[in-house]
Chain A
Amino acid sequence: MQASRARLFKEYKEVQREKSADPDIQLVCDDSNIFKWTALIKGPSETPYEGGVFQLAFAVPEQYPLQPPQVRFLTKIFHPNVHFKTGEICLDILKNAWSPAWTLQSVCRAIIALMAHPEPDSPLNCDSGNLLRSGDIRGFQSMARMYTRLAAMPKKG
């Protein structure tokens, strides 16, 4: 508990100190609970998610960093490895490949990388995975772009 709190506090200071280090990631700690974090990440360029801003919710366990944080998309996203309704993310580093050396910041980077390189073989979104596995790249990209516009981009007017 104390260790996780101390570590999160250090991470918080690190984030505050290097706020502009990674313009694609904006990591914010909950005002009242250091174990609750939210992050805003920009969709990587040259992907259907480009131009969108996706919100992530971090739930940090007390055993952190020995246990990985629980991360899910608050913004709806059409991605093979993200549950379309719950926003759950299937990412190895958030499961068995977690390392205490990871940080919330690095998790955000990993999620951005996952958005750019989906893994259709372990899908949480079967529709998205099936499109990719069937080779319908165009269909996948159009669906993903549509949901990005609908959910992740500021509404015009």
Chain B
Amino acid sequence: MVSDSITHNAPIASAPNSRDFSKKKRTNRSAKLKQCKLDVRREQWLSQVGAVKSKCCKEDQNGARKERARSLENLRRRDEDNSNDSGSMHHDSDSESPSNSPTNSLLCGNSGTNPGTNFIGSSSSSSSVSGSSGGGCCSGSITEEEEEDGCLDDWEAVADALAADDDNNKQEPEHDRSCSQSPSESQLSVQSDSLHELANGLSLDSVKSMPDGARMVPSVSENNRRAWRPDDAFRPQSLPNLAKQRSFPAADRHFGQGGVPWACNNVLAAPSSCPICYEDLDYTDSSFLPCLCGFRLCLFCHKRILEEDGRCPGCRKPYEHDQVESEAIVQGGSMTFRLARSCSMIARS
């Protein structure tokens, strides 16, 4: 909850700055990103951290300095905001290389222009952000940039690698490259930070972020970043969508669960075995309710009874049109049921 509130606050201020930076960054990014993309992808895929670091580190180092100065917590907040903004763009990249570094690539580009320090903070912030899920704030700036470059996929991978490198260089707690999510957030944060608000935001963020950072640092790390990556990509639009999607399946599950208990209730209400032949009731039998009195029995016994006196064993009332249900359920047996009725009618008459 805390992280969400923080993210909301920060994005407002940082969003415009991040956008401007993003434009500038785009140019720088394109070149850097292109170079780094291939290497980053290779390295990331093979060993997510290694090779990418060198390229990323350069950018990261710049950002890292600032970031270092700043408290990680501040970064986190900023990153969260940024990540929220960038999230929409990231989605695309994420889709291609979900776990990898769409966010990282963004971060790298941003970090080139902006101080790399944000990454660390962003990672932490991203973790916090991811935890909060929120993120509708994420501006499309990052995403837009990436789209324009057309390097979204590559960028993501690069960004991931860069983020990892940055983290390593900075040696911040969040260094773990795995935190691909965090990098994206960090990029966002970096952009915003690089904007004018860096100092202000940092101070504010640092103050605000402190509690968040405490939370983030222990648990967030890689996992949070990763979690955020997909979220970041989706942040602008997809995050809410994701939440919705999640809720939907959850709702479905609930429905399913509801249905299950319902079925279970039916089963429970019905004996587990046919009271006539003592054979276990299968699913079809369990859902077979031939009489309004609720007496259940297996289809075989039901058929036999219809051939005999045709009365419900439970209430001793003759099976009437209630059989329609059974016939509907067991279409194959409907003919026999009907025949049985007619026979029984004849016999009675």
- Let me know if B276 and A65 touch, CB within 8 A: yes
- Let me know if A101 and B278 touch, CB within 8 A: no
**In the bound complex, how far is the Cα of B313 from the Cα of A65, in angstroms?**
10
Does A113 make an interface contact (CB < 8 A)?
Answer: no
Write the B265-304 contact mask toward A (1 if CB under 8 angstroms, else 0). Answer: 0000000000111110000000000000001010011001
B279 contact set on A, CB distance < 8 A: 6
Of the residues B276, B304, B308, B309, contact of A101 by C-beta under 8 Å? B276
- Let me know if B278 and A6 touch, CB within 8 A: yes
**In the bound complex, how far is the Cα of B309 from the Cα of A149, in angstroms?**
42
Residue total for A at the interface (Cβ-Cβ under 8 A): 14
**In the bound complex, how far is the Cα of B277 from the Cα of A7, in angstroms?**
5
Does A99 make an interface contact (CB < 8 A)?
Answer: yes
The A1-39 residues at the B interface (CB cut-off 8 A) are 3, 6-7, 10-11, 14
Of the residues B275, B278, B295, B304, contact of A66 by C-beta under 8 Å? B304
**In the bound complex, how far is the Cα of B301 from the Cα of A109, in angstroms?**
24
Does B305 make an interface contact (CB < 8 A)?
Answer: yes
- Let me know if B277 and A101 touch, CB within 8 A: no
**In the bound complex, how far is the Cα of B304 from the Cα of A6, in angstroms?**
15
Write the A62-97 contact mask toward B (1 if CB under 8 angstroms, else 0). Answer: 010111000000000000000000000000000001
Does B314 make an interface contact (CB < 8 A)?
Answer: yes
- Let me know if B316 and A99 touch, CB within 8 A: yes
- A3-B304, A66-B308 known; A100-B278 Cβ under 8 A: no
A97 contact set on B, CB distance < 8 A: 316
- A7-B276, A7-B278 known; A101-B295 Cβ under 8 A: yes
**In the bound complex, how far is the Cα of B313 from the Cα of A101, in angstroms?**
6
A6 contact set on B, CB distance < 8 A: 277-279
- Let me know if A101 and B275 touch, CB within 8 A: yes
The A78-128 residues at the B interface (CB cut-off 8 A) are 97, 99-101
B278 contact set on A, CB distance < 8 A: 6-7, 10-11, 14
A11 contact set on B, CB distance < 8 A: 278
- Let me know if B316 and A100 touch, CB within 8 A: no
A100 contact set on B, CB distance < 8 A: 275-276, 297, 301, 305, 313
The B235-283 residues at the A interface (CB cut-off 8 A) are 275-279
**In the bound complex, how far is the Cα of B279 from the Cα of A10, in angstroms?**
9
**In the bound complex, how far is the Cα of B309 from the Cα of A100, in angstroms?**
11
The B20-75 residues at the A interface (CB cut-off 8 A) are none
* A8 nearest CB neighbor, chain B only: B278
Q: Which of B277, B297, B305 has the most CB of A within 10 A?
A: B277
**In the bound complex, how far is the Cα of B276 from the Cα of A67, in angstroms?**
11
The A125-149 residues at the B interface (CB cut-off 8 A) are none
B311 contact set on A, CB distance < 8 A: 99
B313 contact set on A, CB distance < 8 A: 99-101
Write the B295-338 contact mask toward A (1 if CB under 8 angstroms, else 0). Answer: 10100110011001101011010000000000000000000000
Chain B interface residues (CB < 8 Å from chain A): 275-279, 295, 297, 300-301, 304-305, 308-309, 311, 313-314, 316
Chain A interface residues (CB < 8 Å from chain B): 3, 6-7, 10-11, 14, 63, 65-67, 97, 99-101
A-B contact pairs, 28 of them (CB 8 A): A3-B277, A3-B300, A3-B304, A6-B279, A7-B277, A7-B278, A10-B277, A10-B278, A11-B278, A14-B278, A63-B308, A65-B276, A65-B277, A66-B304, A66-B305, A66-B308, A66-B309, A97-B316, A99-B311, A99-B316, A100-B276, A100-B297, A100-B305, A100-B313, A101-B275, A101-B295, A101-B313, A101-B314
Q: Given contacts A7-B278, A66-B305, A97-B316, could you give 19 more A-B pairs where the C-beta distance is less than 8 Å?
A: A3-B277, A3-B300, A6-B278, A7-B276, A7-B277, A10-B278, A11-B278, A14-B278, A65-B277, A66-B304, A66-B309, A99-B311, A99-B313, A99-B314, A99-B316, A100-B275, A100-B276, A100-B305, A101-B295
When A and B form their complex, which 5 residue pairs have the shortest distance between CB atoms, in order from nearest?
A10-B278, A101-B313, A99-B313, A100-B313, A100-B276
